[in-house]
Chains A and B, each alone.
Chain A
Amino acid sequence: EPEVTQTPSHQVTQMGQEVILRCVPISNHLYFYWYRQILGQKVEFLVSFYNNEISEKSEIFDDQFSVERPDGSNFTLKIRSTKLEDSAMYFCASTQNMVSIYSNQPQHFGDGTRLSIL
Chain B
Amino acid sequence: AQKITQTQPGMFVQEKEAVTLDCTYDTSDPSYGLFWYKQPSSGEMIFLIYQGSYDQQNATEGRYSLNFQKARKSANLVISASQLGDSAMYFCAMRGPNAGGTSYGKLTFGQGTILTVHP
Contact = CB atoms under 8 A, between A and B. Distances in A.
Given A101-B33, A106-B35, A112-B43, A44 B109 contact: yes
B52 A102 contact: yes
Nearest to B93: A43
B98 A103 contact: no
Nearest to B112: A42
A106 B53 CA distance: 15
A106 B47 contact: yes
Contacts of A95: 105
A42 B113 CA distance: 10
Interface in A19-71: 31, 33, 35, 41-45, 48, 50, 55-56
Contacts of A42: 91, 109-112
Contact of A106 (B50, B91, B96, B111): B50
A114 B109 contact: no
A101 B47 contact: no
Interface string B27-55: 00101110101000011111100101110
Contacts of B46: 109
Nearest to B110: A42
Given A55-B104, A102-B52, A106-B47, 14 more contacts: A33-B106, A35-B107, A43-B91, A56-B98, A99-B104, A99-B105, A101-B96, A101-B97, A102-B31, A104-B33, A107-B35, A110-B44, A112-B44, A114-B43
Interface of A: 31, 33, 35, 41-45, 48, 50, 55-56, 89, 91, 93, 95, 99-104, 106-112, 114
